[in-house]
Amino acid sequence: MTHAVSNQPPPLVGRDVFADDHALVEAVRRHGARDALSRLHDLGMLAGSPEAQGLAVEADTHSPVLRTHDRYGNRVDEVTFHPSWHALMTTAVAFGLHATPWSATEPAAHATRAAGFMVWSQVEAAHLCPVSMTYAAVPALRTDAGTAAVWEPRLTSTEYDPGIRPPAEKGGCLAGMAMTEKQGGSDVRANTTTAEHTGDGGWYALTGHKWFCSAPMNDVFLVLAQAPDGLTCFVVPRMLDDGTRNSFRLQRLKDKLGNRANASAEVEFDGTLGVRLGEEGRGVATIIEMVAATRLDCVLGSAALMRRAVAEATWHAAHRSAFGGLLADAPLMQVVLADLAIESEAASALAMRLAASVDGADDPQERALRRVGLPVAKYWVCKRTPALVAEALECLGGNGYVEESGMPRLYREAPLNSIWEGAGNIQALDLMRVLAREPDAVAAWHAEVETAKGADRRLDACLDDTDAALRDVARDPVGSTHLARRLATRMALLLQGSLLARFAPASVADLFCATRLDRPEGTFGALPAGFDVGAIIARATPELL
């Protein structure tokens, strides 16, 4: 033997990913999803298994392949995925991480699904893209009862049945969306794809292109196009009712920074048939429910990435020594880990609170909170994720920079949720729209934060300051546009602080309020003295079964 390997942490496999995420377990309990605990533990054990981790590596390594034509030259426009992708999708759909909560009768179905989404996306994030879009399509499809009646049973089925075949013959279907064009994604009103009525019921023929269309093997897409009366939403199936393929030309797959297991295509439409959803000219209003639901998943997905990164960092530090002691006992590593842990916990608490507001959608207060909470949470949580993942990666030292650690995959994925469904500025501008036009939503935000009033003087002071800033903005919303990121940040932090002050251990809430609401610092780990960082790290460190 030339040498023995020592001081390398054991692999972080063979655990219940749900059980050791105390912040998530507590959120599930308080949002009324206790009945789902045992199912979530089952999913957590699957997520922490070596088999699932292996599937994630395979799916990321073997990117999907575009096949435009068959051997005879006929267009097929198909994408071939590695078997590991299908295995991951099978579990996601079987657990109902896609559209199932919309047809569920049990309470807290959306909170349950959100927790499952957070657990399972810690295995591999990319395959959750078609899962999210299918979840998000249902509220938009409900604009038209007839269309919803056709598609909802297919989208809520827990059978994963891949392949382009007539939807009526499939055990379950998946949905996607295509809004973004070459000349612009944020400004969809500039879309150039046209839609002409075919004269056959609600069917239109679409001509044009989409610059990003993820998961193009899904069965049906919500597409924006310019009809005679303006931008309109269409339901575009890949297979038509007569058993022929709809024109759906996949030009290229994107060569992406991360999210490599998933396919994102450029598509051209040439007389592509779609059924109108909602009125002509009301495309944005129709698709907005889908956009809102996918924004929720961006927050959940980012919170999940943070949790996975923190689990890896705390695990490594708990098993790696330097200079004669465990990294986890080094004071300067402790402040870094504790800072990362509270960021992750705050993200999880906010993501789950917003998911629970979907369960409470009959309550106007919950709807109003979701309206303002989504843009601020999407802005802040998604934006914090790349910074957190980079710092967590560094906790693993050189090992963290190496693919086998899994950290580079998290790092490449980390910026995506902030771009998807409206990049950071678009979220901040959406907040300004809320501030200018929707006083009920602002009031719902205030009421939610105020439930923690008196719990922490720093929270109270920050709320007073932010209220004053909001009053200033109300006097001149347009002239205050440059303040949008600042306001979104404060409003997200206050929501997080209020949740932690009410529900997290005192050590977590105390450190969060001191470092986020009182005296924020630029980097992770630049903490003041006098906080119980040991308790925070212990709570965040995963355990094997």
Ligand X SMILES: Cc1cc2nc3c(=O)[nH]c(=O)nc-3n(C[C@H](O)[C@H](O)[C@H](O)COP(=O)(O)OP(=O)(O)OC[C@H]3O[C@@H](n4cnc5c(N)ncnc54)[C@H](O)[C@@H]3O)c2cc1C
Angle between helices 484-503 and 364-395 (to 10 degrees): 90
Tokens of 486: 């600042």
Q: C-alpha angle 314/299/293, rounded to 5°?
A: 150
Decide whether 18 or 420 has the Cβ nearer to ligand X.
420
Tokens of 30: 């308080």
Question: Of 489, 494, 543, which Cα lies nearest the Cα of 10?
Answer: 543
* Radius of gyration for the alpha carbons in the chain, expressed in angstroms and rounded: 23
Closest CB 181 distance from ligand X, rounded Å? 8
Among 130, 172, 185, 386, binds ligand X (CB under 6 A): 185
The answer for residues whose C-beta is within 8 angstroms of residue 200's C-beta and 6 or more apart is none
Decide whether 178 or 304 has the Cβ nearer to ligand X.
178
Among 53, 112, 134, 180, binds ligand X (CB under 6 A): 180
Q: Does 435 bind ligand X (CB under 6 A)?
A: no
Residue whose Cβ sits closest to ligand X = 185
Q: Does 487 bind ligand X (CB under 6 A)?
A: no
Q: Which stretch binds ligand X (CB under 6 A): 3-11, 174-182, 232-240, 381-389?
A: 174-182
CA 439 distance to own-chain centroid: 27
- Judged by CB under 6 A, the chain residues 65 through 84 that form the site for ligand X are none
Q: Does 328 bind ligand X (CB under 6 A)?
A: no
- Using CA atoms, how far residue 97 sits from 110, 253, 331, 485, in Å, is 9, 25, 40, 31
Among 390, 419, 483, 538, binds ligand X (CB under 6 A): 419
Distance between CA atoms of residues 101 and 117, nearest Å: 12
- Judged by CB under 6 A, the chain residues 244 through 303 that form the site for ligand X are 256, 259, 264
Decide whether 424 or 477 has the Cβ nearer to ligand X.
424
The helix/strand count (H/E) of the chain reads as 18, 11
Distance between CA atoms of residues 155 and 141, nearest Å: 11
Q: Which stretch binds ligand X (CB under 6 A): 91-99, 166-174, 413-421, 438-446?
A: 413-421
Q: How many residues bind ligand X (CB under 6 A)?
A: 24
CB 16 within 8 A of CB 48: yes
Angle between helices 331-359 and 484-503 (to 10 degrees): 90
CB 271 within 8 A of CB 117: no
Q: Does 174 bind ligand X (CB under 6 A)?
A: no
Residue that the structure tokens 């300004």 belong to = 432
Q: Does 213 bind ligand X (CB under 6 A)?
A: yes
Q: Does 212 bind ligand X (CB under 6 A)?
A: yes
Among 8, 61, 80, 186, binds ligand X (CB under 6 A): 186
Closest CB 209 distance from ligand X, rounded Å? 12
Closest CB 254 distance from ligand X, rounded Å? 6
Angle between helices 283-319 and 533-540 (to 10 degrees): 110
Cβ neighbour number for residue 453 with a 10 Å cutoff: 12
Decide whether 175 or 356 has the Cβ nearer to ligand X.
175
Q: Does 417 bind ligand X (CB under 6 A)?
A: no
Residue that the structure tokens 């957070």 belong to = 118
H/E stretch holding 125 reads none
Q: Does 177 bind ligand X (CB under 6 A)?
A: yes
Decide whether 106 or 187 has the Cβ nearer to ligand X.
187
Decide whether 100 or 417 has the Cβ nearer to ligand X.
417
Q: Does 449 bind ligand X (CB under 6 A)?
A: no
Q: Does 179 bind ligand X (CB under 6 A)?
A: yes
Cβ neighbour number for residue 58 with a 10 Å cutoff: 17
Q: Does 357 bind ligand X (CB under 6 A)?
A: no
Among 178, 233, 338, 369, binds ligand X (CB under 6 A): 178
Closest CB 216 distance from ligand X, rounded Å? 8
SS3 522: coil
Cβ neighbour number for residue 464 with a 10 Å cutoff: 10
Question: Of 56, 63, 59, 61, which Cα lies nearest the Cα of 12?
Answer: 56
Among 422, 462, 493, 531, binds ligand X (CB under 6 A): 422
Q: Which stretch binds ligand X (CB under 6 A): 52-60, 301-309, 421-429, 460-468?
A: 421-429
Burial class, 387, CB count within 10 angstroms (exposed 0-12 / middle 13-18 / buried 19+): middle
Among 9, 32, 107, 184, binds ligand X (CB under 6 A): 184
Binding stretches for ligand X (CB under 6 A): 176-180, 184-187, 212-214, 256, 259, 264, 416, 419-426
